[in-house]
Structure 1
């Protein structure tokens, strides 16, 4: 006789189903603490601190760390793509004795060396591990994935290619013969310090583009993330915007609410149009740059804006309501129009081009020529004169119906540059992006991936006859700024075009330090004319002469161009000439740079 079959009662199913009808109101344990508490609990002397770069840097957190450790010698190892305001203060305050970075210096209003970092390197107070914008991301990716190392196309063949910079070469196990490939050591910081637009109480964090290094540092950190946010949201809000979440809560140790926590950098609201963003505080950044010219001025600035503020709330109060409201208003898709209108009365009207304007406009013509002849589909513009030349060229090409897109390394794709502001990473340009990306996508794929058709345009402080570019060290060993993304482009983009003011100090037979390989540099544009290389190992020859001052003969202009070069410049037997600069070209350039930041 068989036993009767036992069944689960229907009420059990009903009870279990009722438990799942409603999602939990909170996605995990609450981690919200004041910023001072987060720093006190998580930051310890000797730590390697990854300070995320991107366009919403954790300035409030960095300033709190500075307040907490001021006057001590904590020996931090600072890991960041760019050593800018907060990083420079940490170096000045002797809080850092080791830096891993791709760039260290000023970025606004123009890129250039900064005395604070240059002196720290010269005096041996800081040791520098030289990275690039792509390799810091790649190394953090390797660390996040638990890999000991990861292959790279960057760095190989340049002076960055040393074990002290986390680089070695190995035999490719999949290739015939002894072909060697570069590999990068994985990077795992002790703590990641990051700022997000919003998070729930558990730390599920919404990051908004453009993304810079993205969230690899959060995943690579052995000690998790010290997270600051503009505002706290519900887990239900997070679920509705899950496509914008980049850091899951289990990686986050603490959450601290600090409105304007990225200031003086901007905070976007892309994907959350109902939320408030804010623009970049250009005046604040100029004031800081000016203060770094002397220790006394910088100490006074720090006393006012960091040590003189008990916390971030006091810092925001010192900014003042009017300034904050102005920054909020500046984050608007059409804000560039009013900014341009305010600058138009002082716009330069003279028809004569400056040397810088001549170089930029010749650069634009050459970019357009190379896009047409080379079939390039993307143009990646570096900062300064390079982006102005690229903006002129791509705007003209697109008006003709040529399919080509502009990119910027930090994650701008398909943007249309707005008039009135020559700053490459301006908020106005962000609004026009067709895609918000990061270093990995732009530098690793679109400008450096397999089969890319990218023309990279870079400004060179110093370049040699083979196209090698130096932006790292002067001949006396003093530090300049580093690679940024230029090294990545030199090894990855299908072709490079460089702009450099012609002088024997800038156009040299051999650079003292190869930051960016000249292998893919085909064209060099100066205010005197255009130099080209027919092959990677062949030196530049002058192929097109600038029209120049009509009072000077062609022979005089040619002699001046040759004398402005630091090596015996070869002149092409078929030397051609550029047409004179037109009024329309000058007008377009001056509307992009009405204050003549790059064109005076």
Structure 2
């Protein structure tokens, strides 16, 4: 079994200065935001963040000063506006943001998964994205250099593959050894799980292995690429987890407003990052009424075929205790 606590996952698999990636389904969808909260709780610094799309996790990490480099294909928060914490970090010069498109990021993850030396591509070339690098602003040809297609002689771009040190990937369901099922938009979590050097899953629910045997075709992340599994309901909060809970729109707005200033960020860190110590505290912080409201989601039918195999919290705790003793 690979079940461990959130705190242990961060202690064991993260360090200052690492390349850290998180898997999300759009900026308001399922992302392991609680993993970012724990990174801050443990004081991780100087992170190089890789996000296909910015989420409230990157927004928070940037606002708190934990990220000094970031690469992403979209930096907004969709209907909730631009990410204020990320904006402050970039505009102050504390964070260098390397911009790519929403196609080139998954291509780079695919290249990392396949261990290619580079990814030939026709996207992002002949544009500012190709020639202007936040990481190397002097060399205008280092970000996406041209290479020659040996078959046609055509000039195409060469994208650098991504192989982050760790990917913390939110999934809907996982068994105790790391076979995972994702509901809703997958985005690029499949490619990320193969590109990263290590993968930690953060799961809304742990299921019996009979569930995995019943739906093997839905297992997009297999146990062989997974180092550890963390059971953490509402790990994506305040964003959504399709089939499980909706987006907490009120908190999304309040969070982004708080991260717009140093004072607001300090208050947010005090209340929503340092203000809890374990899962029970975390869920109490969100509030029973809020959780009940968010769980009354119109997408709940997506989870129906799997509910019979979801393990109760007590059984998950027992599995974790046995894993700790092993």
The reply to whether TM is greater than 0.5 is yes
| Mapped partners of 2:195, 2:143: distance in 1 | 16
What residue is the counterpart of 1:82 in the other structure? 53
State the secondary structure of the residue aligned to 1:49: strand
- Conserved? CA contact 2:19–2:164, under 8 Å: yes
Matched, 1:215 2:199: no
- Conserved? CA contact 1:306–1:315, under 8 Å: no
After superposition, the C-alpha distances for 1:221-261 in whole angstroms (9 at most, x for unaligned) are 11x21111111112221111112111110111111110111
State the secondary structure of the residue aligned to 2:71: strand
Matched, 1:228 2:202: yes
Structure 1's 257 and 182: CA in aligned 2 closer, same or farther, altered over 3 A? same
Which of 196, 217, 220 matches 1:246? Answer: 220
More helix by share: 2
Matched, 1:142 2:101: no
Which of 117, 122, 142 matches 2:91? Answer: 122
What residue is the counterpart of 1:595 in the other structure? none
| Mapped partners of 1:289, 1:263: distance in 2 | 13
| Mapped partners of 2:213, 2:275: distance in 1 | 40
Root-mean-square deviation over aligned CA pairs? 1.9
Which of 320, 332, 338 matches 2:287? Answer: 320
What residue is the counterpart of 2:181 in the other structure? 206
**What TM-score do the two structures reach when normalised by structure 1?**
0.47
Matched, 1:310 2:277: yes
* Alignment map for 1:91-170 (pairs within 5 Å): 91-109=62-80, 111-112=81-82, 114-162=83-131, 164=133, 166-170=143-147
| Mapped partners of 2:278, 2:71: distance in 1 | 28
Structure 2: stretches of 5+ with no match in the other structure: 134-141, 303-326
What residue is the counterpart of 1:172 in the other structure? 149
Which of 289, 297, 316 matches 1:330? Answer: 297
Matched, 1:263 2:242: no
* Alignment map for 1:465-476 (pairs within 5 Å): none
After superposition, the C-alpha distances for 1:125-174 in whole angstroms (9 at most, x for unaligned) are 11122111111100010010010111222101110013847412111111
| Mapped partners of 2:234, 2:265: distance in 1 | 22
Larger Rg: 1
Higher relative contact order (CA 8 A, sep 6+): 2
After superposition, the C-alpha distances for 1:29-57 in whole angstroms (9 at most, x for unaligned) are x0111111111111111110011121210
| Mapped partners of 1:131, 1:316: distance in 2 | 36
Structure 1's 248 and 309: CA in aligned 2 closer, same or farther, altered over 3 A? same
